[in-house]
Amino acid sequence: MKKFLLIIQFVIMLAATAFAQLTTVSQSPLFKEPVSGYARILHMKNGSTIFLQVTSRDGLYVDIYDEDNKPKAQTHLSTNFGTLLGSCVNALFETNNDLVLFISEVESRQPVLYRIVIDGNTGNIKRDEKIAMTNRYAYFAQPFITQYEPVTSFFVRRDPTSENYALVVLHNNDRTVNGNLEVIWYNGNHKEISRAYYANSDTRYKNINYLDMVVMGDEKVCLFAHIYNQTEAGDKKGQLIMATLSRTVDTLTLDKLNIGVKKVIDSGLVKFNPVTKKILFIGYAHAEAGDEEKYAGIFGFVDPSRQTPDQEIDIFPAKANEKTKAIAGRAYTGMPQNIFVRSDGGFSIVYEELTRKQVKPLNAASYVYCIKDWLAVESFDVNGQPQYTCLMPRHAELRNWEISAFNTERVSRSAQPLIKGEQYRGYACFQYKDRVYVTLNNTETNMKKAAKGKAEGFNAVRDTDGYYYICDASNDLPEYKPLFGLNINKDDDGHPLVMGVSDYDTDKGRFVTLKMDKTAEHRGVRVVWLQP
Protein backbone atom coordinates (compact mmCIF):
# COMPACT_ATOMS: atom_id res chain seq x y z
CA MET A 1 0.00 0.00 0.00
CA LYS A 2 2.80 2.39 0.94
CA LYS A 3 4.62 1.58 -2.32
CA PHE A 4 1.42 2.25 -4.28
CA LEU A 5 1.01 5.66 -2.59
CA LEU A 6 4.62 6.56 -3.41
CA ILE A 7 4.02 5.71 -7.05
CA ILE A 8 0.88 7.89 -7.11
CA GLN A 9 2.78 10.80 -5.54
CA PHE A 10 5.58 10.39 -8.08
CA VAL A 11 3.09 10.44 -10.98
CA ILE A 12 1.44 13.56 -9.57
CA MET A 13 4.82 15.28 -9.26
CA LEU A 14 5.67 14.38 -12.86
CA ALA A 15 2.31 15.69 -14.06
CA ALA A 16 2.77 18.95 -12.13
CA THR A 17 6.28 19.37 -13.53
CA ALA A 18 5.10 18.77 -17.09
CA PHE A 19 2.20 21.17 -16.61
CA ALA A 20 4.53 23.86 -15.35
CA GLN A 21 6.67 23.91 -18.50
CA LEU A 22 6.62 27.12 -20.53
CA THR A 23 5.98 26.23 -24.18
CA THR A 24 5.40 28.21 -27.38
CA VAL A 25 1.75 28.39 -28.45
CA SER A 26 2.12 30.75 -31.42
CA GLN A 27 4.41 33.35 -32.92
CA SER A 28 4.00 36.24 -35.35
CA PRO A 29 5.74 36.76 -38.68
CA LEU A 30 9.24 38.23 -38.47
CA PHE A 31 9.54 42.03 -38.43
CA LYS A 32 12.27 44.62 -37.98
CA GLU A 33 13.78 44.77 -34.50
CA PRO A 34 12.90 47.99 -32.59
CA VAL A 35 16.13 49.55 -31.37
CA SER A 36 15.18 53.01 -30.09
CA GLY A 37 12.34 54.82 -28.36
CA TYR A 38 9.89 52.74 -26.33
CA ALA A 39 8.04 49.48 -26.98
CA ARG A 40 5.29 47.47 -25.32
CA ILE A 41 2.98 44.52 -25.91
CA LEU A 42 -0.56 44.76 -24.54
CA HIS A 43 -3.04 41.89 -24.45
CA MET A 44 -6.59 43.19 -24.81
CA LYS A 45 -9.77 41.92 -23.16
CA ASN A 46 -11.27 40.95 -26.56
CA GLY A 47 -8.41 38.47 -27.08
CA SER A 48 -6.33 40.52 -29.49
CA THR A 49 -2.70 41.50 -28.92
CA ILE A 50 -1.16 44.89 -29.72
CA PHE A 51 2.52 45.70 -30.20
CA LEU A 52 3.27 49.42 -29.91
CA GLN A 53 6.52 51.25 -30.64
CA VAL A 54 7.01 54.93 -29.75
CA THR A 55 9.81 56.60 -31.72
CA SER A 56 11.41 60.02 -31.37
CA ARG A 57 11.33 60.85 -35.09
CA ASP A 58 8.59 58.81 -36.74
CA GLY A 59 5.68 58.76 -34.30
CA LEU A 60 3.89 55.53 -33.39
CA TYR A 61 3.90 52.07 -34.97
CA VAL A 62 0.94 49.84 -34.08
CA ASP A 63 0.63 46.13 -34.94
CA ILE A 64 -2.61 44.33 -33.99
CA TYR A 65 -3.04 40.53 -33.85
CA ASP A 66 -6.47 38.87 -33.59
CA GLU A 67 -7.66 36.24 -31.11
CA ASP A 68 -5.89 33.53 -33.15
CA ASN A 69 -2.64 35.54 -32.99
CA LYS A 70 -2.82 36.35 -36.72
CA PRO A 71 -1.91 39.83 -38.09
CA LYS A 72 -5.05 41.97 -38.21
CA ALA A 73 -3.98 45.60 -38.71
CA GLN A 74 -0.81 47.66 -38.99
CA THR A 75 -0.62 51.45 -38.77
CA HIS A 76 2.00 54.19 -38.66
CA LEU A 77 0.67 57.21 -36.77
CA SER A 78 1.77 60.83 -36.57
CA THR A 79 1.13 62.52 -33.24
CA ASN A 80 1.16 65.95 -31.64
CA PHE A 81 4.06 65.34 -29.31
CA GLY A 82 7.30 66.84 -30.55
CA THR A 83 10.93 65.79 -30.47
CA LEU A 84 10.64 63.79 -27.22
CA LEU A 85 13.11 65.87 -25.24
CA GLY A 86 12.93 64.66 -21.66
CA SER A 87 10.51 62.00 -22.83
CA CYS A 88 8.74 59.47 -20.67
CA VAL A 89 5.97 56.98 -21.41
CA ASN A 90 4.00 57.48 -18.23
CA ALA A 91 1.34 54.80 -18.72
CA LEU A 92 -0.18 52.45 -21.25
CA PHE A 93 -3.38 50.48 -20.71
CA GLU A 94 -6.75 49.47 -22.15
CA THR A 95 -10.07 51.23 -21.67
CA ASN A 96 -13.25 50.33 -23.57
CA ASN A 97 -11.33 48.23 -26.12
CA ASP A 98 -9.03 51.17 -26.90
CA LEU A 99 -5.33 51.60 -26.21
CA VAL A 100 -4.58 54.66 -24.06
CA LEU A 101 -1.04 56.06 -24.11
CA PHE A 102 0.25 58.80 -21.79
CA ILE A 103 3.53 60.36 -22.85
CA SER A 104 5.30 63.43 -21.48
CA GLU A 105 8.07 65.64 -22.78
CA VAL A 106 9.56 69.10 -22.34
CA GLU A 107 8.26 71.84 -24.63
CA SER A 108 10.05 75.22 -24.34
CA ARG A 109 11.31 74.23 -20.86
CA GLN A 110 7.80 73.23 -19.75
CA PRO A 111 6.83 69.62 -18.90
CA VAL A 112 3.63 68.62 -20.72
CA LEU A 113 1.57 65.42 -20.79
CA TYR A 114 -0.27 64.01 -23.83
CA ARG A 115 -3.10 61.48 -23.84
CA ILE A 116 -3.37 59.47 -27.04
CA VAL A 117 -6.33 57.11 -27.54
CA ILE A 118 -5.83 54.44 -30.22
CA ASP A 119 -8.66 52.32 -31.62
CA GLY A 120 -8.01 48.76 -30.49
CA ASN A 121 -9.54 47.30 -33.67
CA THR A 122 -8.07 49.49 -36.42
CA GLY A 123 -4.97 51.00 -34.82
CA ASN A 124 -6.05 54.52 -35.76
CA ILE A 125 -5.91 57.52 -33.44
CA LYS A 126 -9.22 58.55 -31.88
CA ARG A 127 -7.90 61.28 -29.56
CA ASP A 128 -4.57 63.10 -29.31
CA GLU A 129 -4.59 65.86 -26.73
CA LYS A 130 -2.44 67.75 -24.29
CA ILE A 131 -4.08 67.29 -20.89
CA ALA A 132 -1.62 68.65 -18.30
CA MET A 133 1.42 70.84 -17.82
CA THR A 134 3.53 72.15 -14.97
CA ASN A 135 5.65 75.22 -14.34
CA ARG A 136 8.66 75.81 -16.57
CA TYR A 137 12.19 74.81 -15.71
CA ALA A 138 14.60 77.65 -15.11
CA TYR A 139 16.75 78.45 -18.12
CA PHE A 140 19.56 75.87 -18.44
CA ALA A 141 18.23 74.10 -15.32
CA GLN A 142 17.19 70.95 -17.18
CA PRO A 143 19.69 69.03 -19.31
CA PHE A 144 17.87 68.23 -22.54
CA ILE A 145 19.32 64.80 -23.20
CA THR A 146 16.86 62.52 -25.00
CA GLN A 147 15.94 59.33 -23.09
CA TYR A 148 18.26 59.97 -20.12
CA GLU A 149 16.43 62.76 -18.28
CA PRO A 150 12.73 61.85 -18.34
CA VAL A 151 10.02 64.14 -17.10
CA THR A 152 9.04 63.24 -13.51
CA SER A 153 6.03 65.51 -13.07
CA PHE A 154 3.20 63.15 -14.09
CA PHE A 155 2.03 59.80 -12.70
CA VAL A 156 -0.89 57.75 -14.05
CA ARG A 157 -2.41 54.68 -12.42
CA ARG A 158 -5.39 52.57 -13.52
CA ASP A 159 -7.72 50.38 -11.49
CA PRO A 160 -7.05 46.81 -12.78
CA THR A 161 -10.68 45.78 -12.18
CA SER A 162 -12.44 48.73 -13.84
CA GLU A 163 -11.92 51.36 -16.53
CA ASN A 164 -11.19 54.18 -14.08
CA TYR A 165 -7.79 55.82 -13.68
CA ALA A 166 -6.15 58.81 -12.01
CA LEU A 167 -3.43 61.32 -12.81
CA VAL A 168 -1.10 63.03 -10.33
CA VAL A 169 0.61 66.24 -11.42
CA LEU A 170 3.47 67.62 -9.34
CA HIS A 171 3.52 71.43 -9.37
CA ASN A 172 6.86 72.00 -7.71
CA ASN A 173 7.37 75.61 -6.62
CA ASP A 174 4.41 76.78 -8.67
CA ARG A 175 2.48 79.52 -6.87
CA THR A 176 -0.14 79.83 -9.61
CA VAL A 177 -1.95 76.68 -8.42
CA ASN A 178 -3.61 75.72 -5.13
CA GLY A 179 -0.97 73.24 -3.99
CA ASN A 180 2.17 71.33 -4.85
CA LEU A 181 0.27 68.22 -5.91
CA GLU A 182 -2.86 67.82 -8.04
CA VAL A 183 -4.84 64.58 -8.48
CA ILE A 184 -7.39 64.16 -11.29
CA TRP A 185 -9.73 61.16 -11.40
CA TYR A 186 -11.20 59.89 -14.72
CA ASN A 187 -13.66 57.22 -15.80
CA GLY A 188 -13.13 54.86 -18.75
CA ASN A 189 -14.54 57.43 -21.19
CA HIS A 190 -11.84 59.91 -20.07
CA LYS A 191 -14.39 62.15 -18.36
CA GLU A 192 -13.32 63.78 -15.13
CA ILE A 193 -14.89 62.34 -11.98
CA SER A 194 -13.18 64.66 -9.52
CA ARG A 195 -9.98 66.58 -8.83
CA ALA A 196 -8.27 68.05 -5.80
CA TYR A 197 -5.04 69.74 -4.72
CA TYR A 198 -2.81 68.86 -1.83
CA ALA A 199 -1.88 71.91 0.21
CA ASN A 200 0.24 71.02 3.22
CA SER A 201 -1.38 72.35 6.40
CA ASP A 202 1.10 70.64 8.75
CA THR A 203 3.68 73.31 9.51
CA ARG A 204 6.10 70.70 10.83
CA TYR A 205 6.58 69.24 7.35
CA LYS A 206 7.17 71.61 4.45
CA ASN A 207 8.05 69.09 1.72
CA ILE A 208 6.18 66.25 0.06
CA ASN A 209 7.56 63.21 -1.78
CA TYR A 210 4.85 61.50 -3.83
CA LEU A 211 5.20 57.70 -3.79
CA ASP A 212 2.30 55.93 -5.52
CA MET A 213 -1.48 55.61 -5.58
CA VAL A 214 -4.21 53.03 -6.01
CA VAL A 215 -7.51 53.63 -7.84
CA MET A 216 -10.48 51.77 -6.38
CA GLY A 217 -13.07 51.90 -9.15
CA ASP A 218 -15.43 54.85 -8.82
CA GLU A 219 -15.27 54.70 -5.02
CA LYS A 220 -12.00 56.45 -4.16
CA VAL A 221 -8.39 57.15 -5.02
CA CYS A 222 -5.80 56.60 -2.27
CA LEU A 223 -2.54 58.46 -2.72
CA PHE A 224 0.59 57.72 -0.67
CA ALA A 225 3.32 60.27 0.07
CA HIS A 226 6.07 61.00 2.54
CA ILE A 227 5.90 64.50 4.01
CA TYR A 228 9.07 65.71 5.66
CA ASN A 229 11.18 68.59 6.84
CA GLN A 230 14.85 68.89 5.88
CA THR A 231 16.45 69.64 9.24
CA GLU A 232 20.01 69.58 7.93
CA ALA A 233 22.09 67.95 5.20
CA GLY A 234 21.38 64.21 5.16
CA ASP A 235 18.79 64.51 7.93
CA LYS A 236 15.06 64.38 7.19
CA LYS A 237 12.22 64.09 9.66
CA GLY A 238 8.86 63.08 8.29
CA GLN A 239 5.71 60.99 8.16
CA LEU A 240 4.04 58.56 5.74
CA ILE A 241 0.52 59.71 4.83
CA MET A 242 -2.43 58.51 2.77
CA ALA A 243 -4.48 61.17 0.98
CA THR A 244 -7.94 59.98 -0.12
CA LEU A 245 -10.11 61.48 -2.84
CA SER A 246 -13.69 60.19 -2.75
CA ARG A 247 -16.55 60.73 -5.17
CA THR A 248 -18.60 62.74 -2.69
CA VAL A 249 -15.85 65.07 -1.41
CA ASP A 250 -13.80 67.40 -3.60
CA THR A 251 -10.93 67.67 -1.11
CA LEU A 252 -8.24 65.22 -0.03
CA THR A 253 -8.72 63.51 3.33
CA LEU A 254 -5.35 63.03 5.04
CA ASP A 255 -4.43 60.14 7.33
CA LYS A 256 -1.07 59.53 9.00
CA LEU A 257 0.08 55.92 8.76
CA ASN A 258 1.94 53.91 11.38
CA ILE A 259 4.28 52.35 8.83
CA GLY A 260 7.93 53.34 8.49
CA VAL A 261 7.87 55.40 11.68
CA LYS A 262 11.07 57.43 12.15
CA LYS A 263 12.22 56.41 8.68
CA VAL A 264 12.72 58.34 5.46
CA ILE A 265 10.73 56.68 2.68
CA ASP A 266 12.13 57.61 -0.72
CA SER A 267 10.22 55.19 -2.99
CA GLY A 268 6.95 53.32 -2.71
CA LEU A 269 4.57 50.97 -4.48
CA VAL A 270 0.95 50.17 -3.57
CA LYS A 271 -1.49 47.49 -4.70
CA PHE A 272 -5.02 46.68 -3.61
CA ASN A 273 -5.73 43.17 -2.32
CA PRO A 274 -9.32 42.33 -3.37
CA VAL A 275 -9.45 39.39 -0.93
CA THR A 276 -8.60 41.29 2.25
CA LYS A 277 -9.86 44.68 0.97
CA LYS A 278 -6.60 46.20 2.15
CA ILE A 279 -3.85 48.12 0.39
CA LEU A 280 -0.39 46.59 0.31
CA PHE A 281 2.29 49.27 0.76
CA ILE A 282 5.90 48.45 0.00
CA GLY A 283 8.75 50.94 0.05
CA TYR A 284 12.44 51.74 0.31
CA ALA A 285 13.48 53.47 3.52
CA HIS A 286 16.41 54.36 5.73
CA ALA A 287 16.51 55.67 9.28
CA GLU A 288 16.10 59.38 9.95
CA ALA A 289 19.51 60.99 10.35
CA GLY A 290 20.94 57.65 9.21
CA ASP A 291 23.17 56.53 6.39
CA GLU A 292 21.29 57.23 3.14
CA GLU A 293 23.04 54.27 1.52
CA LYS A 294 21.62 51.78 4.04
CA TYR A 295 18.18 51.16 2.64
CA ALA A 296 15.78 48.42 3.64
CA GLY A 297 12.43 47.31 2.30
CA ILE A 298 9.37 48.13 4.42
CA PHE A 299 5.89 46.66 4.06
CA GLY A 300 2.49 47.20 5.59
CA PHE A 301 -1.25 46.53 5.30
CA VAL A 302 -3.41 49.66 5.12
CA ASP A 303 -7.20 49.60 5.50
CA PRO A 304 -8.54 52.29 3.10
CA SER A 305 -11.68 52.61 5.25
CA ARG A 306 -9.48 53.21 8.34
CA GLN A 307 -11.60 50.79 10.37
CA THR A 308 -8.60 48.63 11.29
CA PRO A 309 -5.12 49.82 12.32
CA ASP A 310 -2.12 49.73 10.02
CA GLN A 311 0.02 46.62 10.28
CA GLU A 312 3.73 46.58 9.41
CA ILE A 313 5.47 43.26 8.75
CA ASP A 314 9.05 42.19 8.13
CA ILE A 315 9.74 41.27 4.49
CA PHE A 316 13.51 40.76 4.70
CA PRO A 317 14.21 37.57 2.66
CA ALA A 318 15.98 35.72 5.47
CA LYS A 319 16.12 32.37 3.68
CA ALA A 320 17.55 33.99 0.55
CA ASN A 321 20.16 35.59 2.77
CA GLU A 322 21.04 32.23 4.34
CA LYS A 323 21.28 30.56 0.94
CA THR A 324 23.45 33.35 -0.49
CA LYS A 325 25.85 33.08 2.45
CA ALA A 326 26.07 29.32 1.99
CA ILE A 327 26.71 29.58 -1.76
CA ALA A 328 28.69 32.81 -2.17
CA GLY A 329 29.87 33.58 1.37
CA ARG A 330 28.17 36.99 1.47
CA ALA A 331 24.90 38.55 2.54
CA TYR A 332 21.95 38.96 0.19
CA THR A 333 21.34 42.64 -0.59
CA GLY A 334 18.26 42.41 -2.81
CA MET A 335 15.50 45.00 -2.57
CA PRO A 336 11.82 44.61 -3.58
CA GLN A 337 11.12 45.24 -7.26
CA ASN A 338 7.66 43.79 -7.83
CA ILE A 339 4.73 42.20 -6.01
CA PHE A 340 2.05 39.74 -7.15
CA VAL A 341 -1.24 39.17 -5.30
CA ARG A 342 -2.70 35.66 -5.49
CA SER A 343 -6.35 34.62 -5.62
CA ASP A 344 -6.18 33.39 -2.00
CA GLY A 345 -5.03 36.81 -0.76
CA GLY A 346 -1.41 35.76 -0.34
CA PHE A 347 1.32 37.51 -2.28
CA SER A 348 4.82 37.07 -3.67
CA ILE A 349 7.59 39.68 -3.69
CA VAL A 350 10.37 39.73 -6.29
CA TYR A 351 13.75 41.01 -5.03
CA GLU A 352 16.77 42.11 -7.04
CA GLU A 353 20.29 43.10 -6.04
CA LEU A 354 21.09 46.51 -7.57
CA THR A 355 24.28 48.53 -7.13
CA ARG A 356 25.77 51.57 -8.82
CA LYS A 357 29.38 51.67 -9.96
CA GLN A 358 30.89 54.95 -11.02
CA VAL A 359 33.71 54.77 -13.55
CA LYS A 360 36.14 57.67 -14.02
CA PRO A 361 38.31 57.08 -17.07
CA LEU A 362 41.33 59.27 -17.78
CA ASN A 363 40.67 62.30 -19.98
CA ALA A 364 36.96 61.47 -20.33
CA ALA A 365 33.68 62.13 -18.57
CA SER A 366 32.71 59.71 -15.80
CA TYR A 367 29.76 57.38 -16.23
CA VAL A 368 27.75 54.99 -14.08
CA TYR A 369 27.20 51.24 -14.41
CA CYS A 370 24.04 49.71 -12.96
CA ILE A 371 24.95 46.24 -11.66
CA LYS A 372 22.05 43.76 -11.57
CA ASP A 373 22.80 40.70 -9.48
CA TRP A 374 20.89 37.87 -7.82
CA LEU A 375 17.10 37.59 -7.93
CA ALA A 376 14.85 36.15 -5.25
CA VAL A 377 11.14 35.44 -4.86
CA GLU A 378 9.53 35.13 -1.43
CA SER A 379 5.95 34.01 -0.96
CA PHE A 380 3.73 35.14 1.93
CA ASP A 381 0.32 33.97 3.07
CA VAL A 382 -2.68 36.28 3.44
CA ASN A 383 -1.49 37.38 6.89
CA GLY A 384 2.04 38.18 5.75
CA GLN A 385 3.71 35.03 7.10
CA PRO A 386 6.59 33.69 4.92
CA GLN A 387 5.86 30.47 3.04
CA TYR A 388 8.77 29.76 0.72
CA THR A 389 11.77 31.48 -0.89
CA CYS A 390 13.50 30.92 -4.23
CA LEU A 391 16.96 32.26 -5.11
CA MET A 392 18.31 32.76 -8.65
CA PRO A 393 21.98 33.73 -9.11
CA ARG A 394 22.53 36.02 -12.11
CA HIS A 395 24.65 39.01 -13.18
CA ALA A 396 24.17 41.80 -15.71
CA GLU A 397 25.61 45.26 -16.23
CA LEU A 398 23.75 48.24 -17.69
CA ARG A 399 26.09 50.88 -19.06
CA ASN A 400 23.60 53.28 -20.62
CA TRP A 401 20.57 53.13 -18.34
CA GLU A 402 20.13 53.48 -14.59
CA ILE A 403 17.45 51.39 -12.89
CA SER A 404 15.15 53.11 -10.40
CA ALA A 405 13.26 51.57 -7.48
CA PHE A 406 10.43 49.22 -8.52
CA ASN A 407 11.55 49.62 -12.12
CA THR A 408 10.27 46.21 -13.28
CA GLU A 409 6.75 46.87 -12.00
CA ARG A 410 6.64 50.44 -13.31
CA VAL A 411 7.81 49.38 -16.79
CA SER A 412 5.02 46.78 -16.83
CA ARG A 413 2.52 49.66 -16.47
CA SER A 414 4.14 51.86 -19.12
CA ALA A 415 6.70 50.80 -21.77
CA GLN A 416 10.24 49.50 -22.13
CA PRO A 417 12.95 52.03 -23.07
CA LEU A 418 15.07 50.74 -25.95
CA ILE A 419 18.61 51.97 -25.24
CA LYS A 420 21.59 50.39 -27.03
CA GLY A 421 20.41 46.82 -26.40
CA GLU A 422 20.13 47.24 -22.62
CA GLN A 423 16.54 45.95 -22.82
CA TYR A 424 17.97 42.44 -23.28
CA ARG A 425 19.82 42.56 -19.94
CA GLY A 426 16.74 42.81 -17.77
CA TYR A 427 14.26 40.17 -16.70
CA ALA A 428 10.49 39.68 -16.83
CA CYS A 429 8.23 37.84 -14.42
CA PHE A 430 4.59 36.88 -14.13
CA GLN A 431 2.38 34.87 -11.80
CA TYR A 432 0.52 31.80 -12.96
CA LYS A 433 -1.70 30.32 -10.23
CA ASP A 434 0.57 29.87 -7.19
CA ARG A 435 3.86 30.04 -9.10
CA VAL A 436 6.03 32.95 -10.20
CA TYR A 437 7.85 32.57 -13.52
CA VAL A 438 11.07 34.54 -14.08
CA THR A 439 12.55 34.88 -17.58
CA LEU A 440 15.96 36.25 -18.53
CA ASN A 441 18.65 36.04 -21.22
CA ASN A 442 22.12 34.54 -21.01
CA THR A 443 24.41 31.96 -22.59
CA GLU A 444 24.19 28.28 -21.68
CA THR A 445 27.72 28.40 -20.28
CA ASN A 446 26.86 31.30 -17.99
CA MET A 447 23.61 29.66 -16.88
CA LYS A 448 25.55 26.56 -15.80
CA LYS A 449 27.92 28.77 -13.80
CA ALA A 450 24.95 30.60 -12.24
CA ALA A 451 23.49 27.28 -11.07
CA LYS A 452 26.69 26.86 -9.03
CA GLY A 453 26.45 30.38 -7.62
CA LYS A 454 29.06 31.85 -9.98
CA ALA A 455 26.86 34.17 -11.99
CA GLU A 456 28.32 35.96 -15.01
CA GLY A 457 26.84 38.37 -17.50
CA PHE A 458 26.98 38.14 -21.28
CA ASN A 459 28.66 40.42 -23.80
CA ALA A 460 27.00 39.93 -27.21
CA VAL A 461 23.19 39.78 -27.20
CA ARG A 462 23.05 37.55 -30.29
CA ASP A 463 24.95 34.81 -28.45
CA THR A 464 22.24 34.49 -25.80
CA ASP A 465 18.98 32.60 -25.43
CA GLY A 466 15.90 33.03 -23.30
CA TYR A 467 15.68 30.98 -20.08
CA TYR A 468 13.13 30.74 -17.29
CA TYR A 469 12.80 29.69 -13.67
CA ILE A 470 9.68 28.37 -11.94
CA CYS A 471 9.45 29.65 -8.37
CA ASP A 472 7.34 27.59 -5.99
CA ALA A 473 7.71 25.63 -2.76
CA SER A 474 9.40 22.64 -4.43
CA ASN A 475 12.93 24.08 -4.64
CA ASP A 476 14.64 27.04 -2.97
CA LEU A 477 17.26 27.07 -5.77
CA PRO A 478 15.11 26.37 -8.87
CA GLU A 479 16.62 24.91 -12.02
CA TYR A 480 16.76 26.98 -15.17
CA LYS A 481 15.12 25.81 -18.40
CA PRO A 482 15.63 27.05 -21.99
CA LEU A 483 12.57 28.67 -23.53
CA PHE A 484 13.16 27.62 -27.12
CA GLY A 485 15.55 24.69 -26.76
CA LEU A 486 19.32 24.74 -26.73
CA ASN A 487 21.20 26.25 -29.64
CA ILE A 488 23.31 23.28 -30.74
CA ASN A 489 24.83 24.99 -33.78
CA LYS A 490 27.27 27.53 -32.34
CA ASP A 491 27.34 29.43 -35.63
CA ASP A 492 23.65 30.33 -35.32
CA ASP A 493 22.31 33.28 -33.36
CA GLY A 494 20.35 32.72 -30.17
CA HIS A 495 16.76 33.67 -29.32
CA PRO A 496 16.85 36.25 -26.51
CA LEU A 497 13.73 38.06 -25.28
CA VAL A 498 13.07 41.79 -25.16
CA MET A 499 12.03 41.61 -21.53
CA GLY A 500 10.18 44.78 -20.54
CA VAL A 501 7.78 44.79 -23.51
CA SER A 502 6.02 41.67 -22.20
CA ASP A 503 2.42 41.24 -21.05
CA TYR A 504 0.40 38.48 -19.43
CA ASP A 505 -2.99 37.20 -20.55
CA THR A 506 -4.78 36.31 -17.31
CA ASP A 507 -7.74 34.68 -19.10
CA LYS A 508 -5.70 32.10 -21.02
CA GLY A 509 -2.68 32.17 -18.72
CA ARG A 510 -0.34 33.15 -21.55
CA PHE A 511 2.87 35.14 -21.41
CA VAL A 512 3.27 37.35 -24.48
CA THR A 513 6.69 38.75 -25.29
CA LEU A 514 9.14 39.60 -28.08
CA LYS A 515 11.98 37.31 -29.14
CA MET A 516 14.88 37.76 -31.53
CA ASP A 517 14.81 35.44 -34.53
CA LYS A 518 15.86 35.17 -38.17
CA THR A 519 15.03 33.48 -41.45
CA ALA A 520 17.33 32.58 -44.32
CA GLU A 521 16.99 36.11 -45.68
CA HIS A 522 16.29 38.39 -42.72
CA ARG A 523 16.99 38.91 -39.03
CA GLY A 524 14.45 40.54 -36.71
CA VAL A 525 11.98 39.81 -33.92
CA ARG A 526 8.64 38.08 -33.46
CA VAL A 527 5.79 38.40 -30.99
CA VAL A 528 5.59 35.04 -29.22
CA TRP A 529 2.79 33.59 -27.08
CA LEU A 530 3.95 31.20 -24.35
CA GLN A 531 1.79 28.89 -22.22
CA PRO A 532 2.70 27.42 -18.79
Q: Is the pTM of this model over 0.85?
A: yes
CA dihedral 243, 249, 250, 251 (to 10 degrees): -40
Instruction: To the nearest 10°, report the CA torsion of 322, 266, 165, 94.
Output: -50
385: β partners? none
**DSSP bridge pairs for 168:** 155, 183
H or E stretch covering 407: helix 407-412
Give how far the C-alpha of residue 206 lies from the chain's centroid of Cα atoms, to the nearest Å: 30
In whole angstroms, what is the distance from residue 514 CA to residue 217 CA? 32
Beta strands in 274-382 (DSSP E): 278-287, 296-302, 311-313, 335-341, 347-359, 367-380
Helix (H, G, I), strand (E, B) or coil at 2: helix
User: Is residue 314 over pLDDT 70?
Assistant: yes
- pLDDT of res. 130: 94
Residue 199: partners with Cβ closer than 8 Å, 6 or more residues away: 178, 179, 180
pLDDT of residue 202: 65
CA neighbor of 475 nearest in space, from 510, 435, 442: 435
Tell me the pLDDT band of 203, cut-offs 50, 70 and 90. Answer: low
Name all contacts of 234-240 with Cβ < 8 Å and 24+ positions apart.
234/289, 234/292, 235/288, 235/289, 236/264, 236/288, 237/205, 237/288, 238/205, 238/207, 238/264, 238/265, 238/288, 239/205, 240/265, 240/281, 240/283
Residue 307, SS3 per DSSP = coil
Q: Are 173 and 135 in contact (CB under 8 A)?
A: yes
Averaged pLDDT score across all residues of the chain: 87
**pLDDT tens-digit map of 407-459:** 889 999 999 999 888 899 999 999 998 899 999 999 999 999 998 989 999 98
Query: Which comes out higher in pLDDT, residue 86 or 470?
Result: 470
What integer is the mean pLDDT of 238-267? 91
pLDDT in tens, 371-421: 999 999 999 999 999 999 999 999 998 887 777 889 889 999 999 999 888
| Interatomic CA distance for residues 347 and 341, integer angstroms | 4
**Coil/strand/helix, residue 290:** coil
pLDDT at 233: 59
- Return the pLDDT at 245: 95
Hey, CA dihedral for 313, 160, 184, 180, is it positive or negative?
Answer: positive
Rounded-to-integer distance, Cα 451 and Cα 83, Å: 45
Bridge partners (DSSP) listed for residue 283: 268, 298
304: helix, strand or coil: coil
Burial 375-385 (b: 16+ CB within 10 A, else e): bbbbbbebebe
- What lies within 8 Å, CB to CB, of 18 at 6+ separation is none
Band (13; pLDDT cuts 50, 70, 90): very low
- Residue 227 pLDDT more than 80? yes
204 or 75, greater pLDDT? 75
**How far is the C-alpha of 218 from the C-alpha of 267, rounded, in Å?**
26
Q: Which has the closest alpha carbon to 172: 139, 206, 140?
A: 206
The better pLDDT of the pair 60, 107 is held by 60
Distance (Å, whole) CA 21 – CA 432: 11
DSSP state of 5: H
The pLDDT value recorded for residue 124 is 96
- Phi and psi (nearest 5°) for 464? -100, 165
